[in-house]
A and B are shown apart, each in its own frame.
Chain A
């Protein structure tokens, strides 16, 4: 098999169908980028879940003076109530750890949270609620603990961080599903476009292929230039997709991780490399399949 012959044929084919080739490259690039982004969001979500579910706590906010919450009746929780509550929480099954956050600590944490200057200026230590922070053995099994504490005397409000981050994860899941759905549609479009490109190529070169058939060139020899055209267009598209994915990782995922203030849930470059490899393989496989299917119809050997 003579490689330079095949490649000169491929080059001629790609140049003759330049507009179609560009269309294929763009479609493959966007399709594979969507697929890659979807996969990266999935990986990011599972990373974040692992990271956050180790840290999520149930917050039991206690009544403070003049609070507007009805359950408190405008009175602060008494030391006796607090003590009783702590004893009760420690007695609940599934509780791993409990600690008390007093007003001073809450105020300090609030000031470090990065809230706006005006808000920080008007907030005083007395405005901060006291709270119990509960860590669970199994963060998914929060319902019984919350129900047991809700409505106890001196309890203003019980919140579960898991519910808050859970909503965020749901949103990320939706985005990733959307990206994957778009990817599937684009992959379909890419396959059809490649089919069309190969068909045009086969038509443009029917004279050559007719003679090749006649003098007994093997099927592989006749078909390979066409398949290679699809593969090369697919590869170029894949390279663009890789660039898009790297940009997404730098501009989106690293920004995102910044909001969570931790390196523990940072999507690593190894994952990005895996995703790029995977999308490239998918892209090339689709190109090869689309080319072969079309050739079977338009290049009878």
Chain B
């Protein structure tokens, strides 16, 4: 599903590569934690998957597509197959829960009947039934992140990228978020989650890829956060 082959990314005006000859394979339906200290290259990895950045060398395949040969014109179609969740939720403050989720479908031109059918389903999936007409500022952080996950998942992507989704949320609420991610993973969606949260990684017992200074220092199925130390 995601295939990195000897990928190096150096940002302009920086000597040290953000990713240094990284090769990794993520299969369909896998759940992968991307761990490592700040600046180790986790976010760069996710940005490369979205083709928001281009690698300096190496090949990236996502959902069967060679990103180097994917024209800019087709990048939006790639992104429709990838859902994204961030630490800061990125909801539209002037739209309610339903509208925020529906927005993702409206802007890719889905018909209204379809939107009316699937949006409530997804809102229920993330556990926000009955809160469809709340505004984002009326929700707790955990609930806002659930809205963001609903938006990321409403178009049934093949891959869900999560960049520290529990970074702004207290540990108790984080467990709920992880349950939703697990639920999404069980529908067959590949999930890649970058995180600092050792407790979550340890409790989930999923594959762990650890980055340090742009290199993969550990890749372990059913791993824990800090085992290398």
Contacts and interface: CB of A to CB of B under 8 A. Distances in A.
Nearest to A215: B104
Nearest to B112: A2
A219 B109 contact: no
B79 A214 contact: yes
Interface stretch (B69-77, B127-135, B209-217): B69-77
A217 B92 contact: no
Contacts of A215: 79-80, 83-84, 103-104, 107-108, 151-152, 155
Contacts of A2: 106, 109, 112
A80 B84 CA distance: 107
Interface residues of B, number: 25
Interface stretch (A24-32, A165-173, A204-212, A234-242): A204-212
B78 interface: yes
A245 to B, nearest CB: 40
Contacts of B77: 216
Chain A binding surface SS class: helix
B90 interface: yes
Given A2-B106, A2-B109, A217-B108, A207 B76 contact: no
A1 interface: yes
Nearest to A1: B109
Interface string A180-221: 000000000000000000000000000110111111111101
Contacts of A211: 90, 92, 103-104, 107, 151
Interface residues of A, number: 18
Contacts of B103: 208, 211, 215
B90 A217 contact: no
Nearest to B107: A217
Contacts of A217: 76, 107-108
A216 B72 contact: no
Contacts of B90: 207, 210-211, 214
Contacts of A1: 109
Interface string B94-112: 0000000001101111001
B108 A301 contact: no
Contacts of B155: 215-216
Contacts of A208: 92, 103
B106 A5 contact: yes
Nearest to A9: B107
Interface of A: 1-2, 5, 207-208, 210-219, 221-222, 301
Given A2-B109, A216-B79, 11 more contacts: A208-B92, A211-B103, A214-B79, A215-B103, A216-B77, A216-B80, A216-B155, A219-B76, A221-B107, A222-B107, A301-B75
14 contacts: A2-B112, A211-B92, A214-B84, A215-B79, A215-B84, A215-B107, A215-B152, A216-B78, A216-B80, A217-B76, A218-B76, A219-B72, A219-B73, A221-B108
Sorted from nearest, which 8 A-B pairs have the closest CB atoms? A216-B80, A216-B79, A217-B107, A215-B104, A216-B76, A212-B107, A218-B76, A214-B84
